[in-house]
Each structure stands twice: as C-alpha cells, then as structure tokens.
A and B are shown apart, each in its own frame.
Chain A
Amino acid sequence: MHRIWAIAENTFKEGLRQKILILLIVFSIILIFISIFLEPFALGESPIILRDLGLAAAALFGILVVIIIGSNLIHKDIEKRTIYTVITKPVKRSEIIIGKFLGLLLLIAILQCAMIVIHQLVIFIYEGSFDLPLFITIPFSLLEIMILLGILMLFSSFSTPTLSAIMGIIFFVIGHASPDLKLFADQINAAPLKYLAYGFYYILPNLENFNLRIDLVHKLPIFTDQIMFSICYGFIYTIFLLYLSIIIFEKREFK
C-alpha cells in the first residue's frame, strides 16, 4: 500500500505543479462568477442559471483536467524515461497504474471541492444562504471522472497522448449521448442496426448515470436506487478499465 501511496503522491504533486492547471482553475472560477452577471438575461430564472452554470463549470474543469493531464500520465514517464527508476524497484506494474490513477483522482477531487465551495460562496453572496445539497454532485462527478480516467489510462498504456486525449473526448461525448443511443435503438426497425446500437449502448459507458445537475438545480427528487446503481456502475466500469490497463502495461517494454 505504501508503494501505491508513494506513486499517488508523486502524481498528485506533478499534477499540482502543471501550469495548465492554474489556467483551468482561473477559467472555471471566472465561469462560476460570470453567472452573477447573467441575471438581467435570466427572466426570473436567475437561481437556476446561478446553480447550473456553477456546477457545469466545476464539472467541465474536472473533465478538462482529466483529459489534459490523464492522457499524458503514463506516456510522459516513458518518454522522459523517469519510469526506468520506478519500474526497476520492487514495485508491481499494477501498483504503478493504481497509484497514478489515485493520485490524479485525488487532485481533481480536492480541486472540485474547492470549486463547489467557491460556487457556494457565490450563491451566498447572491441569495444570503448556502445551497448545501449541491455538494452531492461532487461524488457523482468524480465517478464520471473515474471512468474517463480509466479510459485515458487504458489508451495511454499503449498509445500516444494525442490518441488517448481524442479517445477520451469521444468517450465523453458518446457517454453523454447514451440515452439518445438507446432511444435510437428502440425506434429503429432494421435488425442489424438495432442490435449494433444496443451493443454500443451496453458496452460504452453511460455517463448520464452520473449527471444529477438537472435534478438538483430543479429540486427534483433523487431516488436511493438510482444513486446505488450509479455508484456500483461507476466502480465496476472503472475496475474493468484499470484491469485492462494493467494487463497491457504488464506486457509493455521500455526501449
């Protein structure tokens, strides 16, 4: 466990010291604050805009960080040959993958929490009270990020950072279009296409499972079984992706 923690700590520090991170933090905070200035255009819906935009900014921040840093996570170590001294220590390759995964996840989790705290302050300034139930978006956003990070680690264990980033974006877009894919599969009559659409729907990650933003912003009820399903789905999918990444990484050579 201490070996995984050492790798996670290194990944955390490495991520924290990347200049792009500061840029993304500033960008997201501006996006959160900008919601205040949209009030004149809100037509009485300003509380909704305030919440929706703030949560979207925090979620977007997490996605951008995971795609930009996550796609480079393994490749950078190989390209810079920093992996040589790690891999020759009494460390299992699976520990390297898990350590890197946890390090970046921890970094994103802390920063997302900070974003939501800033968002709460904006709500407080505007409305004179906090909206604490919004904090529930954090674990769900992290479940989505876990899956995306798993996808990025899978691709970066054998391909380039560019290809990994492109695959991350594709999976993100398809993952959020998953309900539409299901609708398409339900409505289409041509059998081969129908089964193909169902196949994609069940194999590709359904990231809409973790999108509670609409429910929270519009104060809709959230059911326990819905929460439980999302948690289990997120963990099982991530473990599967990490398992595949480990299998590929175990066979990788460092020429």
Chain B
Amino acid sequence: MNTAIRLENIYRAFKNHFWQKKKEVLKNISLEIYQGEIFGFLGPNGAGKTTTIKIITGLIKPDSGKVTIFGHNVDSMEAKKRIGFLPESPYFYEHLTGYEFLKINALLSNYIDYKDRVHDLLEKVGLKEVANLPLRKYSRGMLQRIGIAQALIGDPDLLIFDEPLTGLDPIGRKEIKDLILEQKAKGKTIFFSSHILPDAEAVCDRIGIIIDGEVKEVGELNKLLKRGIKTDEISLEDWFVSKIKKNHA
C-alpha cells in the first residue's frame, strides 16, 4: 500500500517560559497513513494530537525525526500542493465574505479560474445562500463548513482535519461525516483527530491512539476492538476509556 503520511521517530518538547523545564509533547512517535484510507487520530486532551497535526502540516518542526507527505519533505511545495487542512476551532478573516474567503484560498491554491470552483464548493457545503455575508456573521457550524470548503479548494489528495466534528449539532456532524466518506470514495486520504468517538467509529478505516505523547495503538478498528476482549459488543468509546484508565493506572 502506498503511504500518504510517514512520521518517523518524531520528538518534540516545548517550554512555555524560558525559565521552565521543557515538557515532552511527542516522544518519538512513528506512524504511517496509507493512501485512500480514513485514519482517526484519537486521544485525550493534551495527548499531542494537535502538535502532531501541526508537524504534519509544517506549522511547527520536530526537534528530531522525519515527516514526509507522499514521499516529499513536509515543507516542500510538492507536499503543500497535496494537503488540505482544517485547523481546530478555525478562525478566519472576519471582514471577508464567504465568497471572498474562498476566492483568496483558491488563488493561494493556484486556482486562477476560481469562479466555478468557488461556486461549486459553496454549494457542496451548503453556504451558497450566505456567500455574500461577512464571516463574522457565520455561526459555528457555518464556519466549520467554510473551513472544510477552503481545505477542499485545491482538490488535495490528503485532507487533514483537526477536530472537525467539535461544536457541531447532529445534522452538522452527519454532513461532515458524509463529506469525509465522499472524499474517501474519490480516492482521497483523510487524517483527522476527534473527541467524538462514535462518529470516528462510524467513518474510520484505521485509528491511532495517542496518550501522553506516545502512540499506544494503531490498527484497524474491528481488530483493535476485539483484541483481548471476549465480548463482540464493545464500542470504541468503552474501549478508549478502558485504554486511558489502564494507561494512568
């Protein structure tokens, strides 16, 4: 299977102030995400999910280790051309309208004839009616949808979503899940982090569990859930909670 993202021994430590000791956030993690799969990256708050995503998107650099996107260095234009990124709780330029925002993102993604692309995406994410409203008037769910539209605008092969389902109502979550499945059907790779485990369970091919900066489990959902557990009826949520408790015991 071809690899979309490869993380090799990624180590990263931060210190909030210069007088403080560095805190290890990622402790030599290694991960491989295959092309065409939906990979759920799960873990409790502060486990290192967002830091991992920031390293994959080139927002921060690891202290040591190597990241490649489709075999390219993460900082290269070749890698960037193939990534669509939705940050956690996205903040966008509030003075722009939905249309203007997507237009700028289309140009940044080298879509010079952007009009059709922008209109299509506005329709796809259900924001056509509010395309001329400034983003400051958008609701949380609408911002999440315009965020997904900007991630899709360059038609990237790899979509990285940081907590895409947080703050959405059930309908909004359903729409995003459908969109993720639709992208997979087109052959795209999706890497996303989430706290909402039943939703992750519904769409993921494989999951990875990160706890305290270490990847504890990686694998196909069904196999992981069945491993060491006699009953067939266990949800990802139950399994995840037992994993965390075991780790902290």
List A contacts of B185 (CB < 8 A).
none
Tell me if A90 and B87 are in contact (CB < 8 A): no
CB within 8 Å of A: which B190-241 residues? none
- Residues of B whose CB lies within 8 Å of any CB of A are 14, 54, 57-61, 77, 80-81, 83, 85, 87, 90-93, 95-96, 100, 103-105, 107-110, 112, 147, 150-151, 154
Tell me if A6 and B108 are in contact (CB < 8 A): yes
Tell me if A6 and B104 are in contact (CB < 8 A): yes
Instruction: Give the tally of cross-chain contacts (CB within 8 A).
Output: 76
Tell me if A85 and B100 are in contact (CB < 8 A): no
Tell me if B96 and A13 are in contact (CB < 8 A): yes
- Shortest Cβ distance from B57 into A: residue: A88
List A contacts of B91 (CB < 8 A).
80-82
Tell me if A17 and B95 are in contact (CB < 8 A): yes
Q: Which of B59, B77, B107, B151 is A6 in contact with, Cβ under 8 Å?
A: B107
Tell me if A3 and B110 are in contact (CB < 8 A): yes
**When chains A and B are docked, how far (Å) is the Cα of A82 from the Cα of B57?**
15
Given contacts A88-B57, A89-B105, 10 further A-B contacts (CB under 8 A): A3-B108, A10-B96, A17-B95, A86-B108, A87-B59, A88-B85, A90-B109, A254-B54, A254-B59, A255-B54
CB within 8 Å of B: which A197-255 residues? 253-255
List A contacts of B108 (CB < 8 A).
3, 6-7, 86, 89-91
* Contact A2 B112, CB 8 Å, known A85-B92, A90-B81: yes
The answer, yes or no, to whether A33 is at the interface (CB within 8 Å) is: no
- Shortest Cβ distance from A80 into B: residue: B91
List A contacts of B96 (CB < 8 A).
10, 13
Tell me if A88 and B59 are in contact (CB < 8 A): yes
Tell me if A84 and B59 are in contact (CB < 8 A): yes
**When chains A and B are docked, how far (Å) is the Cα of A84 from the Cα of B103?**
17
CB within 8 Å of B: which A1-20 residues? 2-3, 5-7, 9-10, 13-14, 17
- Shortest Cβ distance from B107 into A: residue: A6
List A contacts of B90 (CB < 8 A).
81, 84-85
